[in-house]
Amino acid sequence: MTVPQVNNTPNDLAARDVAVIGGGIIGICTAYYLHKAGKSVVVIDKDEIGKACSFGNAGYITPSHFIPLAAPGMIQKGLKWMLNPQSPFYVRPSLNIDFLKWLISFAKKCTQQHTLANQQAILDINLKSLELYQVLHQQAEFNFEFHQQGLLMLCKTQQGLNDEAKTVAAANKLGLQAKMLTPQALRKLEPNIQLDVMGASFYPEDAHIAPYEFILAMKNYLVAQGVEFRENTEITGFSTDTSKSTITAAATASGDIKALDFVLANGAWSPKLAKQLGLNLPVQSGKGICVSFDKPPVKEGAKLECRTPFILSEAKVAVSPLDNSIRFGGTMELGVLSSQEPVDISPNRIKGLIKSAARYLPDLDTAQVKSEEFWSGFRPCSPDGLPIIGKAPQLANLTIATGHAMMGLSLGPITGKLVSEIINKQKTSLDLTPFSPQRFG
C-alpha cells in the first residue's frame, strides 16, 4: 500500500542536525527528545511510521521484566519447546553465520552471573522510562491511554509459582514492589474474569498503553512542530568522509539525506545497515504475534473483563486490556530476517497461543478467534538480552539505538532521551556501560 509522505522535503536541503533512521517507538521517541533539545530532525522510514514491530505489541511498560532474555534455563526450555510446533518459542533453522554466532553468544549469556550483573541496570532503565511516560501522559499536547494497573503473572503449576516466587524475591531485593497472590486474592482484584490458575505474582508498578495510539500522538505533535518525516523512503547505504570516521549522508532511491548526526533506530533491520558501515551489530529478529478483539471472545453469558494486564506465565501469552479492545500476544520465533520478510504466520503458533490461553481462561471461546486477524512483528533481539544504546565504535556521528527485544515499547522514551543526551554531549540520565554498542567490539 502506498501512503502519502508527510513533510516530503527535497533531499538537497541543507543538512539537518540529526537524521533518525527508523520511525518505530525508538525512532519517534528519539525525534521527540532531540526536537525538545532544539535540534532540527528528520525521521526516515522505509514504510509508514510506527507500522512495524511497534504497532501491535502488548503495550507493557515493564519494570517487572528485569531478568534478561538470556537467562539461566533458557537453553533447556528452548530445546524442549523446539520439539513442539505449538510452543511459544522456536528457532528457525539457518546456516547464516551471523545467526549462528548470535545463538552461540546468547547461549553463553544464559547464566546466573549474567542475570545478577545486569538486572539492576535493566530495572533502572525501565523505571526511568516509566517516569517519562508518566510525564508525557500529563502533558496537554499528548492524548494517549496510559494505565498503571500493574502486571500479573498467572501460574497454572506449582513449578510456575515457585519460579515466580523467586523472581518476586529478587524484585523486592532490588527495591521493586512485587508480591505473590492466592487465587482468592486474584478474584478480589479481578472479580469479572474466570481464571483457572494456582496463583500469580503481581507487579503493581508496571503500566500499559496502546502502542500505536501513542506513536500517532507523538507523530502528530512533532509534525505540528515542524519535524520532518520521510515515509516510504528506505535508507540503502551511506557516504562517509575520506577517513571513514564520519557519515556525511544517508542514501535513498531519491537522493542523499544529509545530517550532522545519524541515529540507527531501525529495529530488526539495523544489522544490515550497520554492516555497510563496517560495524558488528549482533541483532536478530524475534518474531511475535498478537490479535486484538473489540469485544472479548467469550462463551455465551460469560465475561472476560479485567483492568490488570496479565501474562500466562508457563504459556508466555500476554493479555492487555485496553480502553476499546483486549489484545492477546506472544511467541518468539528467532530467525534470520530475509529480504522477503516472512510475514506469514505459522498456523501452529496461532493454535498454540489460543489453546494455551484457553487453559487459563476457561470462558474463552476459541471458535471466535480468526487466524487472519493476527498481526506479527519482528523484535530486534541482542544476544545478551540488553538494549544497544550509545555511540557507534569508530564513527563519530552515529548513535545506535536498537536491540530492545521484548522491552522496546517500555524503553522508548528513555532511549530517546539518552540518545538526545549523547548527541548533545550531556551527562546521560543513566550509566550507559551495560548498553554500550562497544561491548560487541
Ligand X SMILES: Cc1cc2nc3c(=O)[nH]c(=O)nc-3n(C[C@H](O)[C@H](O)[C@H](O)COP(=O)(O)OP(=O)(O)OC[C@H]3O[C@@H](n4cnc5c(N)ncnc54)[C@H](O)[C@@H]3O)c2cc1C
Residues that bind ligand X (CB under 6 A): 21-27, 44-47, 52-54, 57-60, 62, 234-235, 265-269, 273, 288-290, 329, 377, 379-380, 402, 404-410
- Angle between helix 25-36 and helix 211-224 axes, rounded to 10 deg: 30
In the three-class reduction of DSSP (H, G, I as helix; E, B as strand; rest coil), residue 356 is classed as helix
Nearer to ligand X, 188 or 277 (CB): 277
CB of 199 to ligand X, least distance (A): 22
CB of 184 to ligand X, least distance (A): 28
Q: What is the DSSP string of 259-283?
A: EEEEEE--GGGHHHHHHHTT-----
> At residue 114, what are phi and psi to the nearest 5 degrees?
-65, -45
| Closest listed residue to residue 296, CA positions, set 272, 270, 328, 265 | 328
CB of 70 to ligand X, least distance (A): 15
Are 63 and 243 a contacting pair, CB within 8 Å? Answer: no
CB of 188 to ligand X, least distance (A): 25
Decide: residue 101, CB within 10 A, 0-12 exposed, 13-18 middle, 19+ buried.
middle
CB of 140 to ligand X, least distance (A): 25
Nearer to ligand X, 121 or 407 (CB): 407
Neighbours of 303 (CB within 10 A): 12
Nearer to ligand X, 199 or 377 (CB): 377
Nearer to ligand X, 289 or 315 (CB): 289
| Closest listed residue to residue 186, CA positions, set 197, 177, 176 | 197
Nearer to ligand X, 187 or 272 (CB): 272
CB of 50 to ligand X, least distance (A): 7
Nearer to ligand X, 171 or 411 (CB): 411
CB of 26 to ligand X, least distance (A): 4
Are 231 and 47 a contacting pair, CB within 8 Å? Answer: yes
Q: Please name the helix (run of DSSP H) or strand (run of DSSP E) that holds residue 311, with its range, or none.
A: strand 310-312
CB of 55 to ligand X, least distance (A): 7
Q: What is the DSSP string of 42-99?
A: EEE-SSSTT-STTTSS--EE-TT--S-SS-TTHHHHHHHHHT-TTSSEEE-----HHH
* Chain CA centroid to CA 299, Å: 32
Nearer to ligand X, 57 or 356 (CB): 57
Nearer to ligand X, 59 or 282 (CB): 59
Nearer to ligand X, 300 or 323 (CB): 323
For residue 61, the one-letter residue type is I
Nearer to ligand X, 75 or 251 (CB): 251
| Closest listed residue to residue 137, CA positions, set 218, 58, 59 | 218
CB of 211 to ligand X, least distance (A): 7
CB of 3 to ligand X, least distance (A): 12
Are 409 and 124 a contacting pair, CB within 8 Å? Answer: no
C-alpha distances out from residue 276 to 227, 237, 335, 382, Å: 27, 7, 21, 19
